[in-house]
Amino acid sequence: MKNRIRVERAERRMTQQQLAEAVGVSRQTINAIEAGKFVPSAVLALKIARQFEKTVETVFQLEEGE
């Protein structure tokens, strides 16, 4: 699963820590999601998308074969 979290954070000058606190997870969780090492739950994906005022589909995209 690809995501635009790093891009969305950069546009808002938001750190991983700030996003983590806003959605109730650790900074390490945000880092793992950005790196593609962890797939967030539906609830967490919705919370992240809401922080950026975007749809889940805008922030997260399935890759070919997923």
Per-residue pLDDT of 8-63, as tens digits, reads 999 999 999 999 999 999 999 999 999 999 999 999 999 999 999 999 999 999 98
Per the domain annotation, does 66 fall within a domain? no
Residue 64, pLDDT score: 86
Per the domain annotation, does 49 fall within a domain? yes
**pLDDT greater than 90 at residue 6:** yes
The CATH number of the domain holding residue 35 is 1.10.260.40
| Domain interval for residue 22 | 2-61
Task: Tally the domains of the chain.
Answer: 1
Per the domain annotation, does 40 fall within a domain? yes
Per the domain annotation, does 39 fall within a domain? yes
CA end-to-end span of the chain: 8
**pLDDT greater than 90 at residue 65:** no
